[in-house]
Chain A
Amino acid sequence: MSKFSLFPSSNPGQVTLVEAPAAATYARKARIVFWVVGLSSAVIGALSLAYTMPWPIVGMVLGTAAGFVVGFVCAVVVRIWPVLRAVWHWLAEICLFLVVVVGGTALVHTVPFVVALAVFGVPVAVVAALPASRRFVLTVFWCTVDRHRLRSFCARLLRSSSAKGGTLPLILIARPTPSGERVWMWLRPGLTLADLEGRTGALAEEFGAHQVRIGRASRTRAAYVYVDVVRRDPLRATVLSHLPDLVAFDASIVPTSPGMPPIGGLSLHEVPEPLPPAPRRGGRRPSDEEA
């Protein structure tokens, strides 16, 4: 197991400074997982197959083998976890790359070049021409960009002194909202919501956004948090109340005032300066000023 290594030197999912120890940690974790999961599933598999198969010995051997296969698969997942995380992180780009390059190559080999160009060019032109679809593509673009920026922000935070040695959070999906984007993430040990609080200004600069708001996405699971990236203000328009529609308008019930009510002292020169306070207490003080 310990020999197993994919991209050993330039692992994109790891923070460069802690790369070598991290790789060793993943290898050790994988070995532990292999033995713990493998042994326990081997015992379970052997016992259950021994009792259910017609030949207990064959069942036991098969069950043991199956158990170790399960253990091996789990160990591989643990060993390549940084790679899986990187793949998850770059999934959108990888898919796009596959479609454009692999699909494009295949297309060019099967149909004439002009047709292939049309197959790719026409949808791109249509999407670019229609404002709604263009906006949609742009919001999706910002969502993918936000996830990368959030990840690099967290990585930098983990390298800084305050949260040193923590684990990178799992950046879940991002979704466009009327004001920008919302990214969900799952915090792992070492980086807490409190570490991010007070850094919303720095986050906003990182995202190139107007402001950033963070909070818990779930009342029961503290690790599940959201990051709201605010790029525009959707609350510009006046909101109307439905209450006036609930009552049928009847001009006759609105009371009308007889005319301009007789109120004086509306201009400053009509309002006299208040009299200075009486010199001694106990004396009768001038009360209301007459306007």
Chain B
Amino acid sequence: MSIATLPATSTVPVGPGLSIFEPAFLGADESGRRVDLSLMWRNLLIGGTPGSGKSVALSNLVAHAALSYDCGLVLIDGKQVELGLWADCADVFVGPDQGHAIRTLQRLQTLTDNRYTYLRAVDRRKITPADPFDPILIAIDEIAYFSATVGDKKSQDLFSALLRDLVARGRAIGLIVVAATQRPSSDIIPTSLRDLFAWRLAGYCSTESSSDIVLGRGWAQRGFNAEQLDPDNPGTGYLVAESGTARLVKSAYLSDEDIRHLASWAAYTRRPHLTLPA
């Protein structure tokens, strides 16, 4: 797709003025209230069987980041199409190419070091909206593809190690990792990586233990068991986020049309200030 086909309009598109420091819209909860996730300083892990609505939930968060004037986007998608619609407004888009994914994570690692050096120089521990650089949302769909499917053991481990470093150190300097995978068990991603994700969203799971793997031990015992969700109602899931409690949510549905529309808008408003050259 190319932006060169854009007509020369006389009007300048005005962004909706969202900010990544504000909560992102995810969907609605059982009582019909809207569910907003404050993504800044957080990492989110999304799990569930194929077709449970992980990518739809992810695209809601990507949409918020894309429409925010102060957020970079790095999209890594083993399936291309889920996040591919957003490729034009992303700083980096990685398709099913493990080498590219690893190189991108290595760039982000260097960025982490540079930003910490900056923070050290200005004697602070956390970035603020006033800093001269933007937070970056790193959305990864189908982690399993990169960490357990393609490539050899060495590159898979390298990918997992780089991602773990990103999740572990990226928080304070505004690197937000939102990752989706079907079953984040230890053969897919290391437990040490999984346990770093503070926030969890579990779509329908086929067993109780899968549900506990996504949400964390003990939730199924209290009745928060994603196995009991309705597989015919994709998009519903248990969210463990603010205040450490779980609740049932349904993510909003963005159709392909909506996403194309939002993505081209975001691409249009973003072009002038690309932060990472592709």
Chain A interface (Cβ within 8 Å of chain B)? 177-179, 197-198, 200, 204, 210-216, 219, 228, 233-236, 238-244, 246-247, 249-250, 252-257
Contacts and interface: CB of A to CB of B under 8 A. Distances in A.
14 contacts: A178-B31, A178-B32, A204-B223, A215-B245, A216-B245, A219-B243, A234-B32, A238-B253, A239-B253, A243-B25, A246-B67, A247-B261, A247-B262, A255-B5
A241 B60 contact: yes
Given A233-B233, A255-B6, A215 B251 contact: no
B194 interface: no
B2 A255 contact: yes
B27 to A, nearest CB: 5
Nearest to A234: B30
Contacts of A233: 230, 233, 236
B264 interface: yes
Interface in B17-40: 18, 25, 27-28, 30-32
Contacts of A250: 9, 13, 265
The 7 closest A-B pairs by CB, nearest first: A213-B223, A246-B16, A200-B223, A241-B252, A235-B250, A197-B221, A239-B252
B183 interface: no
A94 B230 CA distance: 40
Contacts of B260: 254
B7 interface: yes
- Of B28, B30, B236, most buried by chain A (CB within 10 Å of CB) is B30
Contacts of B270: none
Contacts of A249: 261
Interface SS of chain B: mixed
Contacts of B67: 243, 246-247
Contacts of B2: 255
A219 B225 CA distance: 22
B42 to A, nearest CB: 19
B234 to A, nearest CB: 10
A252 B147 CA distance: 40
B246 interface: yes
B200 interface: no
A237 to B, nearest CB: 8
A213 to B, nearest CB: 3
A244 B67 CA distance: 10
- Of A179, A212, A241, most buried by chain B (CB within 10 Å of CB) is A241
B258 A241 contact: yes
Nearest to B59: A241
A235 B248 contact: yes
Interface SS of chain A: loop
A69 B71 CA distance: 69
A197 B218 contact: yes
A255 B262 CA distance: 12
B164 to A, nearest CB: 30
Contacts of A243: 16, 25, 60, 63-64, 67, 254, 258, 262
A253 B250 contact: no
Nearest to B28: A239
Interface string B207-239: 000000000001001111100101001011000
Contacts of A178: 30-32
A287 B222 CA distance: 52
B31 A177 contact: yes
B122 interface: no
Contacts of B15: 247
Contacts of A211: 223, 225, 228
B222 A215 contact: yes
B6 A252 contact: yes
Contacts of B265: 247, 250, 253
Contact of A253 (B6, B31, B224): B6
A214 B251 CA distance: 23
A255 B263 CA distance: 10
B28 A235 contact: yes
A179 B228 CA distance: 14
B216 to A, nearest CB: 14
Interface string B107-145: 000000000000000000000000000000000000000
